[in-house]
Amino acid sequence: MQYGMIIDLERCVGCHACTIACKAEWEVPVEFGRNWVYRIGPALVGEEMASTYYPGLCNHCSEPVCVEECPADTIEMTFTDVKTGKTEVLEVAATWKDPFDGTVQIDKSRCIGCGACVDACPYNARYINPNQTDDVSEDGKADKCTYCKPRIDSGMEPACVQTCITGARIFGDLDDPGSEVSQYVKKGAKGIEPEGGELGPNSRYYGKKKDMALLFNTHTPELADMHQVRRRAMLASMVKPAIKTIKNIGLLGVAGAIIAKHSAGQDTQE
């Protein structure tokens, strides 16, 4: 199984009902967002004028770079398929990809708030939530869209899907050839791949040819930062060992994170 979401650009009216529903469901701070809606255009695409929306969220990638960059200590975790009851034991850090439903999740109790996963994500889909603090991190925890996993595990839809007034968001199993999301993929729905990356985004888009061209245009300002996957992953990889070193000697915190990032920056200059 691989859960995924389709955004039908022909239906989206940019009303932000999805972003408001997400904030209400997950108590997201006003200045942040687990999902977002940007207006793109009007702009000339070939000889036609196009205007569309970019409703974004975590893509729950098939090959998520954020998972590899988490420096938290790994533990053995037992995963259970909510449909069959089958279990699987994996060794994971504070963020992982679920082996049964394909979603990418975060263990807030073990997240150290270092921001390595935030820096690694080329979609800007992660942020540090300052309202989520504990003895492990006084500055907040990494947060993002989870596809509303508690809701889907109980048979409900993600809050954004349920709230969308035009039915522009469709959620389901991409591995099920009979599902509505799979039908959209057959019609041409696709995910945004960062330049130089093969992450396999499972949040995908469908729309008119000119609107899709506008959305996927690498020169579109709203999407410009997405085409940095190699640089971001490289920097995050350099920060990761420094963070682990500091954590091992018990200094991780605000100062520890700053020292780790500064150390990585010095390495790049030498």
Residue whose pair of structure tokens reads 């255009």 in the numeric block: 41
What's the mean per-residue pLDDT of the chain? Answer: 86
In a domain, 9, yes or no: yes
- Statement: residue 168 has pLDDT above 90: yes
As for how many domains the chain has, the answer is: 1
pLDDT of residue 9: 97
47 phi and psi angles, rounded to 5 deg = -110, 10
Asked whether residue 207 is assigned to any structural domain, the reply reads yes
Phi-psi region of 45 (alpha: psi -120 to 50; beta: other; left: phi over 0): beta
Question: What percentage of the chain reaches a pLDDT higher than 90?
Answer: 74
Q: Would you say residue 43 lies in a domain?
A: yes
Exposed, middle or buried, 253 (CB in 10 Å: 0-12/13-18/19+)?
middle
Question: What is the residue-wise DSSP string for 48-74?
Answer: EEEEEEEEEE----SS-HHHHH--SPP
pLDDT bucket at 186, cuts 50 / 70 / 90? very high
Is 60 exceeded by the pLDDT of residue 231?
A: no
CA angle 76, 2, 213 (to 5 degrees): 130
Residue 225, pLDDT > 90, answer: no
Whether 129 is in a domain gets the answer no
Query: Is position 77 within any domain?
Result: no
The pLDDT of residue 228 is above 80: no
Asked whether residue 145 is domain-assigned, the answer is no
- 237/149: higher pLDDT: 149
- Please state the pTM of the whole predicted model: 0.82
Query: Mean pLDDT over residues 214-223, rounded?
Result: 64
User: How many CB atoms sit inside 10 A of residue 165's CB?
Assistant: 10
What's the mean pLDDT in 198-213?
95
25 to 116, 130, 195: CA distances (angstroms): 26, 17, 33
Q: What is the pLDDT of residue 196?
A: 76
Residue 270 has pLDDT above 70, yes or no: no
Task: Look at 270 and 164; give whichever has higher pLDDT.
Answer: 164
Residue 187, domain CATH: 3.30.70.20
Mean per-residue pLDDT for 169-196?
95
Is residue 12 pLDDT above 70, yes or no?
yes
Residue 148 lies in a domain: no
pLDDT score recorded for residue 233:
47
User: 229 pLDDT band (50/70/90 cuts)?
Assistant: very low
Tell me the residue range of the domain where 9 lies. Answer: 1-58+158-227
pLDDT at 227: 43
Instruction: With respect to residue 136, please indicate whether it lies within any of the assigned structural domains.
Output: no
